[in-house]
Amino acid sequence: GREWTVVGALNGSLKDQEVLIRGRVHTTRPVGNKLAFVVVRERVSTVQCLATVKPDSVSKEMVRFVRSLSNESIVDVIGVVSVPDVEIKGATQQVEVQIKKLYCVSRAAKTPITIEDASRSEAEIEKASKEGVQLPRVNQDTRLNNRVIDIRTLANQGIFRIQSQVGNIFRQFLLSENFVEIHTPKLIAGSSEGGSAVFRLDYKGQSACLAQSPQLHKQMSICGDFGRVFETGPVFRAEDSYTHRHLCEFTGLDVEMEIKKHYSEVMDIVDRLFVTIFDGLNNVCKKELEAVAKQYPFEPLKYKPKTLRLTFEEGVQMLKDAGVEIDPLGDLNTESERKLGQLVLEKYGTEFYILHRYPLAVRPFYTMPCHDNSLYSNSFDVFIRGEEIISGAQRIHIPEFLAERAQACGIDVKTISTYIDSFRYGAPPHGGFGVGLERVVMLFCGLNNIRKTSLYPRDPLRIAP
Ligand code: ATP
Ligand code: AMO
């Protein structure tokens, strides 16, 4: 019948009250043989508990038992909240719990990596090193090999709660704008982006592959009169990319919608959606963002209430003015994207912007060319801190033209005939975009590797755990 209190809710207003909490043993520290400290951790919060021998309640055996608890064991603690005069350094909550009873719910074996080591910032390691102390550094592979333990760190708990909120706000926003959530097949006949980076498989004797994107089916759903659709789901890319921002499987947030007049209607949705996501994260994920920043320091993202839009030509001009050699009808490479991000920040004071009217030649076959100049297209990419998080465009809704463009891009039209046919029975002008969820979280938090924002990352070298 006793109520549970979450560790994160423990504060001075509960002074002298008895509470019941459950958490993991984060650290234990004995002091003499009559006192033991145990820091209990629950999600992104920690509290210092202490067991001290008291003739009528806490026995010597009890204190010995507390001291013997292995880190990461799960414990239930009944104790009284007190507020010490001094700041508590090793815990997030500024109160102590005087232990009356402690039960061990699950005892942990010695872990291959310790949460303490895995939680240390680079700055802490360097500071200690200057003082002549070599603290262990847990590298990326060791973390990923022991992911279930690694994701218990406060920073990782923060990262995946932030990721959850991005998905939540994405869904809430789009539902409120009359979008319908759809679920398209992940087993499809061929490539959906025109590229070769697909995982092939045998589908009961037919050749098939894992969907590179929901592109074809989200467009077909617009032909099926859903008006506005969105989907969140896995996206598979057989990338040969060993970079900090490419995965072989990632989570795609996809949107597709009818357009009345202009592809700017799609960019309007991107604008309001992402300002809502960023505002939302800053409001509801304060503690999570703090936990991430403590281990991986970053500056809050600079963005505007109305998102900056630049044309590709304007971007190219800015780069040229800065002395960067650039092909005006080619794609931007990673380096020039970064550089443009810096230039935009200096000139406009924002780290989030939309670059649109890309050269047609660097966009997928289904992209609508600009009506005034067919060298360019009604398409856009969106950047955070100089790196791409979104690609989007108006699509070609005229079947003959679509087939012609597919052929021109070297695609075997037979493999996408049902897609092209779906535009033959009346198709509204439409457009949409695709967001890489892991990239959004990585770049919002200024992290340096997409593996940090993928729970169980899949890259060319890793398919476990
Ligand atoms: P999208 O597929 O939407 O364009 P992306 O960010 O994956 O998203 P790519 O088209 O794959 O972008 O690549 C964009 C740029 O990134 C390329 O022009 C290239 O300079 C660089 N790039 C891509 N893959 C690699 C890689 N494996 N190694 C180094 N640079 C790469
Ligand atoms: P694109 O191929 O640009 O566009 O993908 C959309 C977004 O997905 C993310 N992304 C990736 N994230 C992690 N690892 C990867 N290998 C990877 N590749 C892409 C990026 C990118 O911006 N159908 C179009 C979208 C559309 O036009 O609606 C598409 O798939 O954040």
* Closest to 427 measured CA to CA, from 254, 262, 181, 258: 258
Q: Are 42 and 23 in contact (CB under 8 A)?
A: yes
pTM of the model: 0.95
> DSSP 3-state assignment of 140?
helix
Please tell me the distance from the alpha carbon of residue 74 to that of residue 41, in angstroms, as a whole number.
Answer: 9
Q: Does ligand 1 lie within 6 Å of residue 195's CB atom?
A: no
* pLDDT for 253 beyond 90: yes
Ligand 2, atom 25, residue with closest C-alpha: 434
Amino acid 239: pLDDT:
85
How many helices, marked H, and strands, marked E, lie in the chain?
A: 14, 16
- Closest ligand 1 atom, residue 381 Cα: 3
The question of whether 246 is a catalytic residue gets the answer yes
Residue range 87-107, pLDDT digits in tens:
998 899 999 999 999 999 999
388 is catalytic: yes
Q: Considering only CA atoms, which residue is closest to atom 27 of ligand 1?
A: 241
Q: Give the pLDDT of residue 95.
A: 98
pLDDT tens digits for range 319-365:
999 999 999 999 999 999 999 999 999 999 999 999 999 999 999 99
pLDDT-derived band of residue 2, with 50, 70 and 90 as boundaries?
confident
Report ipTM for this prediction. 0.91
Q: Is 331 in the pocket of ligand 1 (CB under 6 A)?
A: yes
Q: Please give the pLDDT value at position 195.
A: 79
At residue 415, the pLDDT reads 86
Q: At 64, list the tokens.
A: 């010995």
- CA-closest residue to ligand 1 atom 3: 391
Q: What are the pLDDT digits (tens) for 144-159?
A: 999 999 999 999 999 9
Active site residue 244: no
The minimum-distance atom of ligand 1 relative to the CA of 387 is 6
Check whether 1 has a pLDDT greater than 80.
no
Beta carbons of 36 and 87 less than 8 angstroms apart: no
Tokens read off for 368: 């609508």
Q: Tell me: the pLDDT tens digits for 161-215? A: 999 999 999 999 999 999 999 999 999 998 899 877 999 999 999 999 999 999 9
Q: Which residue's entry shows tokens 């500024």?
A: 94
Q: What is the rounded distance in angstroms from the CA atom of residue 219 to the CA atom of residue 395?
A: 8
* Residue of 241, 367, 385 to mutate, ligand 1, most atoms within 8 A of C-beta: 241
The closest ligand to the CA of 379 turns out to be 2
Tens digit of pLDDT for each residue in 67-77? 999 999 999 99
Report residue 86's pLDDT band, with 50, 70 and 90 as the boundaries: very high
